[in-house]
């Protein structure tokens, strides 16, 4: 196995994608790009094997060495992460602009995004044929033609890697003849669509490089962390941030589930994910809150989590009870904040317990509180009720993918925070600017944290807090009864 070559340049001299991948191959082709749990057909995939897979993808969608000129290609797929990641990088290598989309979107949402990006190519799988037929039918009435292409199989892309056959010859796809620019659009992701149709968000070369230079990746390099990102959706911001980028920017492999094709990818559960992380030898786990809540109820899980270098959670709140159990067990974990529009620029390795929990520094007990890197310029806009909207102002080392402020360049997140009462520079998210509910008592609540607390229980598959005047007669009394029940069961601590 090749020795660790150090870290690639992140100053723009090498393109984010596919340049960082090619740098890793040139400086250590046999090192593992991804590691899998023990007992898998393969324990790892090397950087060279991954790069070869991306070249095969490029030739598949741009045959005859004919480089594309940035055409947008939508991906409506559900496949193993190794194949998804190879497809993304391979499409960029071919000069195309991939747009991974959540298959859960509605037909009108897909149509809106395809039109908005002038996308006329869709890569999909037979399982999504009815969905794609519906998309084509709506687009046909709008005079917007779409070519539908099938995702190549795992064995075609990773020839000879996951089967006993010999690998097919790999011809490197031609490099671009012009120098890349930081303004080049590399790919699109879409927003959540919580306030309307999902919106396409362009990710440019400099935006992805700023992602790769984030505090989390910087400190991961120093601490030699291998992230177990098995449970993350590849089409989502968190998937790109923790599956795609770490092997390129930190020179360490990423922990993934082994490919299961032609079967569907594994469905992670709290026990199975923890077992996979143990077997793969990861040292950090990025995860969503529901897993934290489940692990907090298991002494065996807590013992393992305490051996890791970090557990970072995002996407919702963790209950006070669950968080306290991890802290007491000695598990290093904290909240992470990010968005498709602005990136992920919080710090997670700045806890200091040496001075006591009341010192003016972030301690392990402050796991809900966030601090932001020096590379970002945060503007905190008071809302008059003790909360502040976070706005990211465009800075030399941080260029939000979306700029929507009327007075200066920057991005208004609509996310509301409160400052720590005694520790300057620490902030805790409380909800959204556009989701405030006024109760009949005059009290104001934000539903997302409350819904998150309820759905943190494995007994709850979903929760919705109605808006103003939405409760039927006796509804408030019923709601109070449910809250009392959840508190008695130990699922709420409010």
pLDDT at residue 460 in the model: 78
53: CB partners within 8 A, 6+ apart: 82, 86, 90, 157, 158, 161
pLDDT at residue 481 in the model: 55
Q: Estimate to the nearest angstrom the gap between the alpha carbon of 248 and the chain centroid.
A: 16
Q: Kindly tell me if the per-residue pLDDT of 439 is higher than 90.
A: no
pLDDT at residue 435 in the model: 62
Q: Kindly tell me if the per-residue pLDDT of 457 is higher than 60.
A: yes
pLDDT at residue 3 in the model: 62
For 86, list phi and psi in degrees, rounded to 5: -65, -40
Q: Kindly tell me if the per-residue pLDDT of 91 is higher than 70.
A: yes
Closest CA to 401 of 318, 442, 341, 443: 341
Task: Tell me which residue has tokens 């790892």.
Answer: 44
What is the rounded average pLDDT of the residues 466-477? 43
Burial label, 18 (beta-carbon count in 10 A; 0-12, 13-18, 19+): buried
Please provide the distance, in angstroms rounded to a whole number, between the alpha carbons at the two ends of the chain: 52
Most confident of 32-36, 67-71, 157-161: 32-36
Q: Kindly tell me if the per-residue pLDDT of 469 is higher than 60.
A: no
Rounded Cα distance between 69 and 76, Å, is 21
pLDDT classification of 476: cutoffs 50, 70, 90: very low
Structure tokens at 89: 């990088």
CB atoms within 10 A of CB 490: 12
pLDDT at residue 38 in the model: 86
Contact 377, 393 (CB under 8 A): yes
Please state which of the ranges 82-91, 236-245, 302-311, 457-466 shows the lowest mean pLDDT: 457-466
Rounded Cα distance between 425 and 448, Å, is 24
Please state which of the ranges 70-84, 193-207, 221-235 shows the lowest mean pLDDT: 193-207
CA atoms within 13 A on the CB side of 234: 25
What is the rounded average pLDDT of the residues 162-182? 86
pLDDT at residue 483 in the model: 58
Task: For 439-452, give the DSSP string.
Answer: -TTS-EE-HHHHHH
Q: Kindly tell me if the per-residue pLDDT of 243 is higher than 90.
A: yes
Q: Kindly tell me if the per-residue pLDDT of 472 is higher than 60.
A: no
Please state which of the ranges 28-32, 207-211, 324-328, 457-461 shows the lowest mean pLDDT: 457-461
pLDDT at residue 492 in the model: 54
pLDDT at residue 467 in the model: 47
Structure tokens at 444: 């104001």
Task: For 312-376, give the DSSP string.
Answer: EE-SS---HHHHHHHHHHT--EEE--EETTTEE-B-SS----TT-TTSSS--GGGTT-B-B-TTS
In the chain, the percentage of residues whose pLDDT exceeds 90 is 70
Residues present in the chain in total: 494
CB atoms within 10 A of CB 487: 12
pLDDT classification of 474: cutoffs 50, 70, 90: very low
Closest CA to 37 of 363, 273, 303, 326: 273
The model's pLDDT over 131-152, given as tens digits with 9 standing for 90+, comes to 999 999 999 888 899 999 999 9
pLDDT at residue 485 in the model: 53
Beta bridge partners of 98: 73
Q: Kindly tell me if the per-residue pLDDT of 115 is higher than 60.
A: yes
pLDDT at residue 431 in the model: 82
Beta bridge partners of 124: 76, 150
Mean pLDDT, rounded, of the chain: 88
The enclosing H or E element of 34 equals strand 32-35
pLDDT classification of 471: cutoffs 50, 70, 90: very low
Beta bridge partners of 427: 370, 419
Instruction: Spell out the domains of the chain, with CATH numbers in brackets.
Output: 19-287 (3.40.50.980), 437-488 (no CATH)
For 382, list phi and psi in degrees, rounded to 5: -65, 140
Please state which of the ranges 89-103, 155-169, 284-298 shows the lowest mean pLDDT: 155-169
Sheet holding 121-124, edge to edge: 97-100, 72-76, 121-124, 147-150
Most confident of 56-70, 76-90, 140-154, 444-458: 76-90
Q: Kindly tell me if the per-residue pLDDT of 281 is higher than 60.
A: yes
Rounded Cα distance between 75 and 234, Å, is 11
In the chain, the percentage of residues whose pLDDT exceeds 70 is 89
Q: Kindly tell me if the per-residue pLDDT of 174 is higher than 80.
A: yes
What is the rounded average pLDDT of the residues 227-251? 94
Most confident of 114-128, 181-195, 309-323, 428-442: 114-128
pLDDT classification of 99: cutoffs 50, 70, 90: very high
Residue 417, by phi and psi: left (phi above 0), alpha (psi -120 to 50) or beta? beta
Task: Tell me which residue has tokens 């669950």.
Answer: 322
pLDDT at residue 65 in the model: 86
pLDDT at residue 470 in the model: 41
Q: Interior CA angle at 92 toward 86 and 98, to 5°?
A: 85
Contact 482, 453 (CB under 8 A): no
Q: Kindly tell me if the per-residue pLDDT of 441 is higher than 50.
A: no
pLDDT at residue 477 in the model: 46
Q: Is the dihedral of CA 251, 247, 342, 337 positive or negative?
A: negative
For 259, list phi and psi in degrees, rounded to 5: -65, 145
């Amino acid at each position: 196995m090749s020795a660790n070559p150090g870290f690639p340049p992140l100053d723009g001299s090498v393109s984010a994608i596919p340049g960082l991948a090619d740098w890793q191959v040139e400086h250590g082709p046999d090192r593992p790009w991804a590691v899998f749990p023990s007992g898998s057909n393969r324990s790892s995939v090397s950087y060279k094997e991954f790069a070869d897979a991306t070249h095969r993808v490029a030739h598949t969608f741009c045959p005859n060495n004919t480089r594309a000129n940035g055409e947008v290609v939508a991906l409506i797929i559900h496949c193993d992460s190794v194949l998804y990641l190879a497809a993304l990088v391979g499409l960029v290598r071919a000069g195309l602009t991939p747009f991974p989309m959540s298959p859960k979107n509605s037909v009108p949402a897909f149509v809106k995004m395809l039109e908005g990006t002038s996308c006329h190519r869709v890569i999909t799988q037979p399982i999504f044929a009815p969905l794609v037929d519906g998309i084509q039918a709506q687009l046909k009435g709008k005079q917007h033609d779409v070519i539908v292409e099938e995702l190549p199989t795992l064995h075609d892309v990773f020839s000879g890697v996951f089967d006993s056959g010999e690998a097919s010859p790999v011809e490197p796809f031609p490099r671009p003849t012009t120098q890349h620019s930081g303004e080049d659009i590399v790919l699109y992701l879409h927003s959540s669509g919580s306030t309307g149709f999902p919106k396409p968000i362009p990710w440019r070369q400099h935006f992805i490089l700023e992602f790769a230079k984030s505090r989390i990746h910087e400190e991961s390099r120093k601490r030699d962390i291998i992230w177990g990102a098995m449970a993350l959706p590849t089409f989502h911001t968190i998937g790109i941030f923790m599956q795609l980028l770490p092997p390129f920017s930190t020179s360490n492999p990423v922990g993934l589930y082994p490919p299961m094709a032609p079967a569907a990818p594994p469905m992670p559960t709290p026990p199975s994910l923890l077992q996979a992380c143990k077997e793969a030898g990861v040292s950090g786990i990025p995860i969503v809150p529901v897993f934290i809540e489940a692990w907090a109820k298991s002494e065996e899980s807590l013992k393992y989590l305490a051996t890791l270098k970090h557990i970072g959670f995002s996407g919702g709140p963790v209950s006070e009870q669950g968080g306290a159990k991890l802290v007491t067990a000695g598990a290093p974990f904290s909240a992470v904040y990010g968005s498709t529009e602005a990136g992920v620029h919080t710090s997670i390795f700045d806890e200091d317990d040496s001075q006591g929990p009341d010192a003016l520094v972030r301690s392990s007990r402050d796991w809900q509180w966030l601090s932001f890197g020096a590379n970002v310029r945060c503007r905190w806009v008071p809302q008059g009720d003790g909360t502040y909207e976070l706005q990211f102002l465009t800075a030399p080392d941080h260029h939000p993918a979306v700029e929507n402020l009327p007075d200066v360049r920057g991005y208004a997140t609509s996310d509301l925070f409160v400052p720590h009462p005694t520790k300057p520079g620490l902030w805790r998210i409380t909800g959204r600017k556009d989701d405030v509910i006024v109760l009949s008592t005059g009290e104001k609540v934000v539903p997302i944290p409350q819904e998150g607390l309820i759905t943190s229980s494995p007994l709850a598959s979903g929760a919705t807090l109605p808006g103003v005047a939405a409760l039927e007669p006796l509804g408030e009394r019923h709601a109070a009864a449910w809250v009392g029940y959840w508190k008695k069961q130990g699922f709420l601590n409010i």
